[in-house]
Structure 1
Amino acid sequence: MSVLSMSIIAIHFVLLLVLCLFGLHRLSMVFRWFRYRKHLPKQPKSFEQLPRVTVQIPLYNERMVAQRIVDSIVKLEYPHDRLQIQIVDDSNDDTCELIAERVKFYQQQGIDIEHVQRANRQGFKAGALKDAMSTATGEFIAIFDADFIPHPNTLLDSIHYFTQKDVAMVQLRWEHLNRRSSLLTKTQAIMLDAHFSIEQQVRSASDKLFNFNGTAGIWRTSAIIDAGHWSADTLTEDLDLSYRAQLKGWKMIYLNHIPCPGELPADMNAFKTQQYRWAKGGVQVMLKMLPTVWRAKIPFTKKLESTFHLSNNLAYFVMLIDTLFFLVPSLLLRDKYDFLNIWWVDIPLLILSSGGHLVYLYWGQIALKRNKSRALVKVPNLVMLGIQLAINNSKAGLEALMGRESEFVRTPKTGELQENVKPEKVISMVPESIKRYRAVAPKGAIFEFVIAGIYAVVLMWAINHQHWFMLPFLLLLTVGFVTAALHSFYHHYQLSK
């Protein structure tokens, strides 16, 4: 066997091993959850006098949810003389008029609420939050995106954790207003449930570095400033600031027992837009902060956990590289050199790489005491959704690695609350001018067909060599990528009409 042939097979297995490590890390989260599942942050002392809090609501062209968030946020149970509300509005459509009308209405009732606007969107969400802080009067800043509806007692339940002087931020657990609206929202909810109930819980309880999720959290104003303030050089300003603050010595707390409901993206294009931003921003923060993490005087276990945390968005990219360049050549070389009987290596790696993620997602439902059988039934949907994100998130990771910048694209929301209401129906009930709120279908349908073709070739190869145990896995991948491609083409067609 030539050096080139050996190199191709070796690289294939190295890439599989990398994917296996990501899967094992997810599995380790589940095992660590058993240790920390009952952990609650130390019961805080109470402030003798409640501190002044500024609530910031950043939004951009959120007509569908603008009035709802303003009407909800004024219901927060907190002394009015200790509360300031800022609607941080970068909109350039009639959202501005809606906000202005509601703000004026509540100002006339004596509520300290202001409509903060800028002449441009410089810095996007990070820039808006930073600019608004120049007029913020709160010792603490609570941030809620426009599609969230915090419970009235949210501030009173969480503010006292800041009696600990070294706490920079407390993060609340997301709940989902439209969880049962569709199969897509149900599947998304399972993914996010695992992130919060397992990932955030374990990292916070074990004193590892974790992140503010961009909304449903409260920051100490001085910690934001001390950490270098909001920065717009990545698409995930929340993750970036979280790491900078913790590396400066600040602590953060995750409150799994305090939920804050928000709205999930109601259609696939909006969901892909959100995932693209999170994936690209995550890799950008990895490139920016990981060298600093490894230079920092923190325990090795923290550095290792942070490495997995910041690099996990590259898993799709690694899978794509292996599929495009090494999978088929490695199979042909095995065939040529009669080197076929090494599936005992492939299979464990494949099971660990994918199975670890599925166990992690399923266990997130157990952690929140949700219905186990319903969660088990959703496992195929989780697999299919993961396949549909493959090209989208791979492209995001590649662009970040190449240093290619892009605009912060908001995730369109419909304002739906009731169950079984399709997003298309919600959109159809609003004026034609608002239909631009629909997300643009991400590009990648051609690549999805190409990937489907590659897996179809591998499927035929497996049938020819009678590797029957591989057929279900390969068939699922082939069908998944074909479905993803057809879905992309369909939405491009819908948006072109």
Structure 2
Amino acid sequence: MSTILLYAMFVVYVIAGVGLVIYGFSCYYSIYLFLKNSRRTRLADRKAILKYYREHSMNDLPQVTTQLPVFNEANCVERLLEAVCAIDYPKDKHEIQVLDDSTDECYEVAKKKVEELAAKGYDIKLIHRTNRKDYKAGALAEAMEVAKGEFLAIFDADFVPEKDFLLKTIPYLVMDEKIGLVQGRWGHLNRTESGLTLAQSIGIDGHFVIEQSARSWGKLFMNFNGTAGVWRKQAIYGGGGWEGDTLTEDMDLSYRSQLAGWRMKFVFDVIVPAELPNDINAFKAQQFRWAKGSIQTAIKILPRVLRSKEPLRVKIGAILHTTHYSIHPCMLFTALCAWPLLAFFEPVAHLPTWVYTVGFSFILLAAVAPSVLYFVAQRCSGYTGWKIRLLSLPILMALGVGIAVSNSRAVFSAVTGRKGSFVRTPKSGGSKKKAKSHYAQKFPWMALTELLVGVYCIFGLLEYIGAQKFIIGPFLALYSVGFLSVGVLSFMHYIGNIIEVHKARKNNDNVEPQDAYNAK
């Protein structure tokens, strides 16, 4: 390999490594903001709710519209509608809009359920579109024009809101007219279904318990998570309305609304249980969409943020927030460059010891930062059994590394401006068999790349061990395990899915192929 190419790879490796260190240390800042504000803010929130209901009756509650965007969600749409209709709120002040863009039997299932609930006196309507313009953003925008409520609650199909959700969120919007959004915390319906769902739950808890709390309480920009939140209609209009030019319309609107002067509030103690993807390809499809959408939003929004009069700390926080998925290309680059750069150990072998000590200390602190964040999140989540759950942290670490290939493709797709359609995440609705038989996925070609990169990292690890260079070894070992695990799981799911599809066809069931990576 030519010297010029090696030096170019070294530069890429250093840039990627510095990026990982920066994102790693941002975890410590999030932990600091959380610990600093947690007790005081949560206590103030509880007092505010109690004060509101001491001074107001149920008759004083405002009109609310709950919007339920669904697309081919036959497995769980009935569960969603029943949960939303069971919410404790005056019937005459609670409108429910079912925004169904479905192209399969979900429409008939939803229609029948809506008619049943409407006959019981609920103010519920089915709004069906056939063009899917702007996908979820388009459905929400069109329905908002005919919504009765001044406040709009939104739930995705895989969520099951508690009965007191509106009673615990609406008062904040009533008491403070500057608040444009109240975001609830995601819970988990199927946390213990498998090691995959358990690991995902730890990752999601880290995001909500620490990161969303830190942003909201630390007066940084935060985002609506697409569901389990309540918008003030005027804040949506103030931010320019729903737009469908990114795959994360929720983050996009959140930033535009905050730039327009609206504030976002995260309520730690309002938890909305949701269903986690129960197979690896569904998980990767979800992560692909989030990764691509957040980078699209960064490209669209960050110039406005940087030109704004917001404090520097808010601007830095926005950069780290919207570009967070850049850690996956950084991981992939460090994995691919490590083996060829083994030769660089000789030129730097005579550097002073303190250089190695300081450098390795920074790398080590950054590397363990996400694990520290997840530990604190579990410790402070309020859930029991958190110590046992932390045993699945290695699975989460392997997943985080293993999806780097897929998410890197998502990032590059966003950077190059390639458009894509909204790819639904298959959900079982509590029935794994049904989800697999009716929503089959195409061959996971990405898994081949993941396996090849995993094998490549193993050879690189062996070369480093043979050269007695052990500093990089642990990272290559983690990369190897991560890429191979995700690749193997993808193929296992594919084979299992073929069997389920075959059974479904024998039973004359409809099968809808779903390509987890068709967002171009």
TM-score (norm 1): 0.92
The CA deviation at 1:267 is: 1.0
Letter in 2 for 1:384: A
Distance 1:368-1:475 versus aligned 2 partners, 3 A rule: same
For the residue of structure 1 that corresponds to 2:408, the secondary structure is helix
Equivalent residue in structure 2 for 1:475, among 467, 474, 477? 477
Q: Which residue of 2 aligns with 1:293?
A: 305
Q: C-alpha separation between the residues in 2 aligned to 1:139 and 1:180? A: 38
Structure 1: distance between partners of 2:35 and 2:266: 17
After TM superposition, give the deviation of residue 495 of structure 1 in Å.
Answer: 3.9
1:390 CA drift (Å): 1.2
Match of 1:67? Answer: 78
What pairs up with 1:313-324 in 2 under 5 angstroms? Answer: 313-324=325-336
Q: Secondary structure at the match of 1:262?
A: coil
The residue correspondences of 1:116-135 to structure 2 (distance < 5 A) are 116-135=127-146
Selected match of 1:85 from 78, 93, 96 = 96
Percent identity, aligned pairs only?
36
Q: Once structures 1 and 2 are overlaid, which stretch shifts more, 453-462 or 97-106?
A: 453-462
Residue 390 (structure 1) aligns with: 404
Deviation at 1:471, TM superposition (A): 3.9
2:380 is equivalent to residue 379 of structure 1: no
- Aligned mates of 1:336, 1:296 — CA distance in 2: 45
Deviations 1:218-249 (A, max 9, x none): 00111111211111000001000000000000
Match of 1:312 among 306, 316, 324: 324
Distance 1:339 1:379, change over 3 A: farther
Read off the aligned partner of 1:105 and give its amino acid letter.
E
Q: Following the alignment from structure 1 to structure 2, what is the Cα–Cα distance between the partners of residues 346 and 9?
A: 16
Mapped partners of 1:363, 1:404: distance in 2 = 38
Trace 1:195-274 onto structure 2 (pairs within 5 A). Answer: 195-274=207-286
Aligned residues of 1:141 and 1:220 also touching (Cα < 8 A): yes
Cα pair 2:135 2:244 within 8 Å, conserved: yes
The residue identity in structure 2 corresponding to 1:34 is L
2:449 corresponds to? 447
> Unpaired runs of 5+ in structure 1?
417-425
Partner AA of 2:183 in structure 1:
Q
Find 1:144's aligned residue among 146, 151, 155: 155
Q: Distance in 1 between matches of 2:133 and 2:209?
A: 35
Alignment correspondent of 2:516: none
Which amino acid is 1:391 matched to?
V
Shift of 1:493: 3.6
1:284 aligns with 2:289: no
Aligned residues: 484
Q: Aligned partners of 1:106 and 1:215: how far apart in 2?
A: 22
Further displaced range: 30-39 or 166-175: 30-39
Shift of 1:140: 0.5
1:409 to 410, 423, 432: 423
CA 1:339 to 1:496, structure 2 compared with 1: closer, same or farther past 3 Å?
farther
Q: 1:367 aligns with which of 380, 385, 395?
A: 380
Contact kept, 8 Å, 2:34 with 2:217, in 1: the verdict is no
Question: What is the Cα deviation at residue 22 of structure 1?
Answer: 0.5
**1:229–1:241 CA contact under 8 A, matched in 2:** yes
2:168 aligned counterpart, secondary structure: helix
Q: Is the 8 A contact 1:190 1:365 kept in 2?
A: yes
Q: Give 1:279's aligned amino acid.
A: A
Instruction: From the superposition, tell whether residues 305 and 442 of structure 1 become closer, same or farther in structure 2 (CA, over 3 Å).
Output: farther
Question: 1:448 Cα deviation (Å)?
Answer: 1.5
- CA apart distance, 1:429: 5.3
Displacement of 1:130: 0.7
Match status 1:94 vs 2:105: yes
Note if 1:428 corresponds to 2:430: no
Using the TM superposition, name which of 6-15 and 234-243 deviates more: 6-15
Q: Could you give the per-residue CA deviations for residues 18-42 of structure 1, whole angstroms, max 9, x where no partner exists?
A: 1111001012211222201212355
Contact 1:37 1:367 in 2 (8 A): no
Residue 35 (structure 1) aligns with: 36
Deviation at 1:439, TM superposition (A): 4.4
Aligned CA distance change for structure 1 residues 171 and 165 (closer, same or farther; 3 Å): same
Q: Classify the secondary structure of the residue corresponding to 2:241.
A: coil
**Corresponding position of 1:115:** 126
**1:422-474 CA distances to partner (integer Å, 9 max, x unpaired)?**
xxxx34358xxx72324446432232233223322321222222234654443
Q: Could you say if the C-alpha distance between residues 260 and 372 of structure 1 is closer, same or farther in structure 2, counting changes exceeding 3 Å?
A: closer
Alignment-derived partner of residue 423 in structure 1: none
- The one-letter code matched in structure 2 to 1:352 is L
SS in 2 for 1:218: strand
* Superposed CA RMSD: 2.3
Instruction: Kindly indicate whether the alpha-carbon contact (under 8 Å) linking 1:272 and 1:442 is maintained by their aligned counterparts in 2.
Output: no
1:19-30 alignment, distance < 5 Å: 19-30=20-31
Distance 2:123 2:75 in 1: 24
C-alpha displacement at 1:334, in angstroms?
2.7
Letter in 1 for 2:235: A
What residue number does 1:194 align with? 206
Distance 1:14 1:349 in 2: 14
Aligned to 1:52: 63
Q: Which residue of 1 aligns with 2:505?
A: none
Question: Does the alignment pair 1:491 with 2:493?
Answer: yes
On the 8 A contact 1:273/1:439 being kept in 2, the answer is no
